[in-house]
A and B are shown apart, each in its own frame.
Chain A
């Protein structure tokens, strides 16, 4: 059963083809990694799935529905969450307010109710706060920083807060763009543990783009390899690692021949 399926996805910027006829099927409940050399189109694929880029051709199906024409903000309501390669938190807010924004779609208060902050608006804020504390802040072990502004945090913690914000959306699919880029070994291990917990305990399907091959091979159940905007291989980590086309893409043709010989 696939929760997310892309078919024939083609995306062009001027003369450059960022994605060419890409087909990806993401199995429900697993961890799917998208890997490939720099400029292979990994982030472009993520942006097409989030709805920032409108593909020239191809279809996107999410949880049984065609979302090819659905605008970006409406995809969030369907259960699609993501983080960005460069941390993109809201710097004018505290950690707690950033995370609360993840719950935006599940709240209902309108502008008028918000001005009075009585009745429903206050009640749903209190509910959201309790839920976030229980399910996100405790889980990610960030209770000591909840009142700090984003700028006061180390880079690794910022990445964790971004994950918290995405989790507060209670998504069906969580897309992580380079979740451990620039982290040291300890931070990477923490993040790997969180990603596995998210997938195992909450049943959230995870998609990730990552250059850290150790992490990819350790935690993912399914790997898709992109090169020059095309899918050149997909399968389990072990299958992909043996695939000559993948080795050629990463190490060059000569190295690949030597390795196979």
Chain B
């Protein structure tokens, strides 16, 4: 049981990891992350890379949707912008450590172009405007063949540093994992400052935000640009990981996947982003294993149902969480933690 925290200064009170135990756990986590690809094997390393990309993209969407209240149905398209940007940048000989920020910036710039007209409207109307962006960008990916390679897609060369190629999952992992940690930390930091507080204020009650001197349009645009930046970087990593950019990768199903991840994990919570993205990355793998068992036990047709089963499970999860646990896995985690902190005195 823990009684309370003792803080001797305001700076200490505002620190992100304020107890010794938390710092120790954090150090252990970072060490585990560094050792993971050497211990985990190729399949787990592949999953970890995929998860890192999903984490960055989901964090961006959570900044927009969970924290600022701007529902976006076009997140995957902004990832696509980042992915194609990396393909184009690599063709021009730009190294990855410049290409990735460029991918983010390109995506944020497209975000501004979409946001400036559509942020004048709110709620569902805005969501529909982002849906339009999803389809328009998808159309551009398919039809602008000289840049995107059309439906055949564009190849992305491996990221390389002074002739050392980051090819293969284990090497790409060391590109994706540090970036994922940094960008999650950045998202968390955002909400310790005036910028992040302004986002939440706009979500909770826009009229009082305005009275406090927050320009709604500017801050909504900033949230949209940050969300798109994260999507762009995630898309760029996607390119370096799968080495190819095709239009159908960045369609509406992927946008809905991220929306599902932050709803399941917890809207407006970085911990929720992590839990939700992890959960949603593992669900398809779990289903695949389930289908494998079913086939092993004589249901030979089971594999046919895998794809539709995935959609059904995603749909059920969204509805289930919205109804029974609107604050997502993050809230379940907090409740569990509280229980053990107070045990045995209160349950």
Interface residues of A (CB under 8 A from B): 50, 52, 71-74, 76-77, 81-82, 84, 88-93, 97, 100-105, 107, 109-111, 113-117, 121, 125-126, 129-130, 133, 165, 169
Complex contact A114–B189 (CB within 8 A): yes
Interchain CB contact (< 8 A) of A92 among B187, B203, B208: B203
User: Cβ of B201: which chain A residues have Cβ within 8 Å of it?
Assistant: 90, 93, 101
Q: Knowing A101-B201, A121-B193 touch, does A111 contact B208 (C-beta < 8 A)?
A: no
Interface residues of A: mostly helix, strand, loop or mixed? Answer: helix
CA distance A133 to B186 in the complex (A): 26
**15 chain-A/chain-B pairs, Cβ below 8 angstroms:** A50-B211, A73-B214, A74-B213, A76-B211, A77-B213, A84-B208, A88-B205, A89-B205, A90-B201, A90-B205, A93-B204, A111-B190, A114-B196, A116-B189, A129-B13
> Is B47 in the interface zone, CB < 8 Å from A?
no
How many A-B contacts at CB < 8 Å in the complex? 109
Interface residues of B (CB under 8 A from A): 10-11, 13-14, 186-187, 189-190, 192-198, 200-201, 203-205, 207-216, 222, 225-226, 268
Tell me if A91 and B204 are in contact (CB < 8 A): yes
CA distance A115 to B195 in the complex (A): 9
A92 with B204: CB separation less than 8 A: yes
> Other than the known A82-B211, A100-B194, what 9 A-B pairs have Cβ atoms closer than 8 Å?
A52-B207, A105-B213, A109-B194, A114-B190, A114-B193, A114-B194, A125-B14, A125-B192, A129-B10
Q: Chain B's nearest CB lies how many Å from the CB of A86?
A: 10
User: Are A114 and B10 CB-contacts (below 8 A) given A73-B215, A90-B204?
Assistant: no
User: Of B190, B192, B212, which contacts A76 at CB under 8 A?
Assistant: B212
| Residues of the A chain whose Cβ atoms lie less than 8 Å from the Cβ of B189 | 114-117
Query: Top 7 A-B pairs ranked by shortest CB distance?
Result: A76-B213, A117-B189, A115-B186, A90-B204, A114-B193, A105-B213, A114-B195
Complex CA gap A97/B209 in Å reads: 13
Judging by beta carbons under 8 Å apart, are A126 and B11 in contact? yes
Set of chain A residues within 8 Å of B225, measured between Cβ atoms:
111
In the bound complex, what is the Cα–Cα distance between A117 and B13 (angstroms)? 15
CA distance A107 to B213 in the complex (A): 11
Hey, which chain A residues are within 8 Å of B205, CB to CB? 88-91
Contacts of A50 in B (CB 8 A): 211
Q: In the complex, are the beta carbons of B213 and A104 less than 8 A apart? A: yes
Expressed in whole angstroms, the minimum distance between the Cβ of A98 and any Cβ of chain B is: 9
The answer to whether A104 and B204 touch across the interface, beta carbons within 8 angstroms, is no
On whether the beta carbons of B212 and A104 are closer than 8 Å, the reply is: yes
> B195–A109 contact, CB under 8 A?
yes
Q: How far does the alpha carbon of A34 sit from the alpha carbon of B113 in the complex, in Å?
A: 45
Closest residue of chain A to B215 (Cβ to Cβ) is: A73
A226 to chain B minimum Cβ distance, whole angstroms, is 21
Q: Which listed residue, B14, B190, B203, B212, touches A105 by the CB 8 Å rule?
A: B212
